[in-house]
Structure formats: C-alpha cells, structure tokens
Amino acid sequence: MILQFIKFCVVGGSGVFVDFGVTYACKEWLRVNKYAANSVGFLCAATTNYLLNRVWTFHNEDPDIAGQYLRFLGIALLGLVINTVTIWLLHHKFRANFYAAKLLATGVVTFWNFFMNYFFNF
C-alpha cells in the first residue's frame, strides 16, 4: 500500500500541474469565477489522474472502464466538495492567499482520494 500511495502522490503531483494550469487559465485569462475555475481545473486533473492511476499506480485491468471511471469521478466530486469548502474557509474566512489555500486543500483531498479509490475502486 505504501508504494501505491507514493505512486498515487506522483500522479497527483502531475494532476496539480493540470489542476493549477487549468484553474489559472480559467480564472485569470477567461475571467471565470474562481470557484468555478477551481472546479474545472479539479475535474480535468481528476480525468488525467484516473488514467494514470488505473495503468501505473494500481495496474488495474477491470474491463468495466466506464463504471470504474464514474466511481473515480464520484469519489473525485466528493473530494471537490471537500476541496472547495477548504479553499473557501481558508481564503474567504481566514484571508489566506487563494493559491496557498488551494495547495493545502489539495493535500487534504489527496488522502480522501487515495483511500476511497484503494478500498472501493481499484
């Protein structure tokens, strides 16, 4: 499980670049609401993370890719709620920098996503 968690974190690290890049582009260039931009970035990262985790982290060959992807997205969507609430609390209530709050929220959600996928998806 430890090696899988390390791989999950490496995949998640690549997802951070996808997440932050898409969030930044939506928020700063397209002027999308910061919470909506966060959601788009988070979901784009969840999709790339699913593919990488399926193949590399968990070496999963379940033929029900659609069902597994939907479970992964369900877990990610609950993670998105945790992520968004954490960002809102840190940024809005405690006046932390938006991107610092997003980074901390990403750390919190990493544990949620790993254990839920480990036990219920892969």
Tens digit of each residue's pLDDT (9 = 90 or more) over 4-31: 999 999 998 999 899 999 999 999 999 9
Buried b (16+ CB within 10 A) or exposed e, 80-111: beebbebbeebbeeeebebeebbeebbeebbe
Going residue by residue through the chain (122 aa), what tens digit of pLDDT does each one get? 899 999 999 998 999 899 999 999 999 999 999 999 988 998 899 899 999 999 999 999 999 999 999 999 999 889 989 999 999 999 999 999 999 998 899 889 989 999 999 999 99
φ, ψ (nearest 5 deg) of residue 62: -55, 125
pTM of the predicted model as reported, rounded to 2 decimal places: 0.74
Tokens 């788009």 locate to 40
